[in-house]
Structure 1
């Protein structure tokens, strides 16, 4: 009868301990938050008068972006940030863990909801727009800043639009961005916390040009599509109708109506 060396038993025990340790780490370890106190979590630079309304009242200002969290859908209904040309660096940063946002009243969804779902953890404020500082970069990995996205959409047309917004920041000096998924009843849900998967995403970009406000809105299905970005432009009124959110609520109502009822791509370089 063959006998196995004692070492093989020890190795088996060690391997088993490693597997258990890895499972515990994956399922229970949560890193510390990236903004530890109110000084680090100061109000972002996004213009107050451009902030949208919140359907939930759960608005959070991080150092480099603001958001309105929608607990029933377990994600932000909008994320707003300013992108200045000075923010655009190619500095290489170590990718941190996704962590729950401690500043959201109900806490944001755990990143583990996305495991095995088939969906990407899609950034709303892109990490690539926040390489200029370690904290700015890390804050984009709060789960309040992510939404379930089809991987081909995330790496495709959504990424193309994000890169185009960076080009606008370089060209015009600074732009203000508001973005999110359209949250509506009947969406597919993933994970133990029932994180909803938006079918449609929007992005609104605004800039000042010689004292005049220029705005443009995009609305797209959450699947890859090989069409020019300008074909995805819609009036901001139509995004408001879908989301129930009032964008640019702080500006003059007459100007707001004028800007939001039509699409003017001539004011933007495509």
Structure 2
């Protein structure tokens, strides 16, 4: 017969053993690696220049999550190591607190054609994500296709101007995002030209990226520095091609936050009438494509402010937009193949000030008038009669 003291001692041991087992099970569960899926995006762009360099993919998710990356195409000129292009075709790691970056290094492209690489990224046991990298040939170098794309103004030779086109990947195709004429003396683009179509404005991202960054194709010293902070005073980082015009991919939206697309724009204009005008422009999108040029005009340099880093920058005295599309909207024709009576155009000349109400008809001008004011030639392949039009009601403005 077991004594009472021995009985209680055995019971206590059993209870302690049960608690120990439960604690061990609980701790093992708490210490297990996270299995959730993470996020990833190119930091700058999936399209790079012909010279050798590196591009970064930003990784995010629960700290401790394991990730695995593999180069599946282009391994002969891409690598996860800057020193070993022969063997560094795979890489893995664990997400840490703070910034997590996966660098992809690439050799110079000495050929005459652009080339394509592809890599996969997987978090834990989740499905793979695919990333494409396009490296341009030296002959391309991100220059706008003047005399080919309908939205581009005629080129003006000026040593202070730099012309650039940004591209992005959409449905495994490289598409132009927008082109700019950047004036290094103004630290701003004098015009930004871009197409508007459902392929660009159909929303496939949860929200705007807000990834303010320097344009990687323009010298940083020539750009306003509003990466961390906006312009001083009551001025916003005003987009020329709007973020809402590019919601098809994370990459294309992020490119609208380049400093080369910004000007110091009064909050009272940017957050009111200018935003209304941008929305109105988008409602005129069509199957044939709407072609838009948005620009900043500096009548003088009398008004200035400081960028986020304290550097002096001039403030535009005016903004403008010029629009072109087919009247029908679904002809299936290129602009150059259309007769003048098949096309419509309009311009907007906006003084840099606050406006009350909606879009005032007095800002509506003909494209020809905007050409006279700015000195640029817009839609150079279009007949003069088309550029003399000024019919606000045809564009939904009363």
Structure 1 length as normaliser, TM-score?
0.76
Q: Which residue of 1 aligns with 2:225?
A: 110
1:83-94 mapped onto 2 (5 Å cutoff): 83-90=196-203, 91-93=205-207
Determine which structure has the larger helix proportion and give its number: 1
1:172-209 CA distances to partner (integer Å, 9 max, x unpaired)? 66211100111232341222443221121101111123
Alpha-carbon spacing, 1:187–1:258, altered in 2? closer, same or farther (3 Å):
farther
Match runs of 1:59-98 below 5 Å: 59-63=163-167, 64-90=177-203, 91-93=205-207, 95-98=209-212
**Gapped regions of structure 2 (runs ≥ 5):** 1-41, 50-133, 137-141, 168-176, 332-337
- On the 8 A contact 1:75/1:195 being kept in 2, the answer is no
Query: What is residue 3 of structure 1 aligned with on the other side?
Result: none
- Summarize the Cα distance change of 1:243–1:187 in structure 2 as closer, same or farther, 3 Å threshold: farther
On the 8 A contact 2:300/2:317 being kept in 1, the answer is: no
Matched, 1:259 2:389: no
Establish whether residue 51 from structure 1 lines up as the match of residue 152 from structure 2.
yes
The CA deviation at 1:54 is: 4.3
Ranges in structure 1 where 5+ consecutive residues have no aligned partner: 1-30
Which string of whole-angstrom CA distances, capped at 9 and with x for unpartnered residues, describes residues 212-252 of structure 1?
Answer: 33211011112221254444211222222222211122x15
Q: Give the superposed CA RMSD.
A: 2.7
Please identify the structure whose Cα radius of gyration is greater.
Answer: 2
State the partner residue of 2:48: 37
**Residue 45 and residue 125 in structure 1: after superposition, are their counterparts in 2 closer, same or farther (change >3 A)?**
farther
- State which of 292, 298, 322 in structure 2 corresponds to 1:204: 322
CA contact (8 A) 1:100 1:142 kept: yes
Contact 2:323 2:347 survives alignment (8 Å): yes
For 1:55-99, what per-residue CA distance to the aligned partner results, in whole angstroms no more than 9, with x for missing partners? 434110001110000111110000011110232234323533311
In the alignment, the residues of structure 1 paired with residue 135 and residue 281 of structure 2 have an alpha-carbon distance, to the nearest angstrom, of 27
**Does 1:190 pair with 2:305?**
yes
Are 1:68 and 1:76, in contact at CA under 8 Å, matched by a contact in 2? Answer: yes
| 3-state SS in 1 of match to 2:345 | strand
Alpha-carbon shift at residue 167 of structure 1 (Å) = 1.1
The SS at the match of 2:372 is: helix
Question: For 2:46 and 2:371, how far apart are their aligned partners in 1?
Answer: 31
SS of structure 2 residue aligned to 1:104 = coil
Q: What does 1:224-235 correspond to in 2, within 5 Å? A: 224-225=354-355, 226-235=357-366
* Greater alpha carbon shift after TM alignment, 183-192 vs 140-149: 183-192
Q: Aligned partners of 1:122 and 1:115: how far apart in 2?
A: 10
Counterpart of 1:28 in structure 2 is none
Per-residue displacement from partner, 1:28-50 (whole Å, max 9, x unpaired)?
xxx95335613367567995243
CA spacing shift, 1:144–1:262, aligned 2, 3 Å: same
Spell out the pairing of 1:216-255 with structure 2 (5 A cutoff): 216-225=346-355, 226-249=357-380, 251=381, 255=383
Structure 2 residue 321 is the aligned partner of structure 1 residue 215: no
TM-score calculated relative to the size of structure 2:
0.53
More relative contact order, 1 or 2 (CA 8 Å, 6+ apart): 1
Post-superposition Cα deviations, 1:120-147, rounded to whole Å, max 9, x if no partner, equal 0000111111111011000001000011
Cα distance, 1:141–1:43 mapped onto 2, change above 3 Å: same
Find the residue that maps to 1:138 and give its secondary structure.
helix
In structure 1, C-alpha distance between the alignment counterparts of 2:252 and 2:288, rounded to whole Å: 19
Cross-structure match for 2:267? 151
Instruction: Name the one with the larger strand percent.
Output: 2
Give the Cα separation in 2 of the matches to 1:173 and 1:183. Answer: 33
Residue 101 (structure 1) aligned with residue 219 (structure 2): no
- State the alpha-carbon separation in 2 of the partners of residues 132 and 45 from structure 1: 22
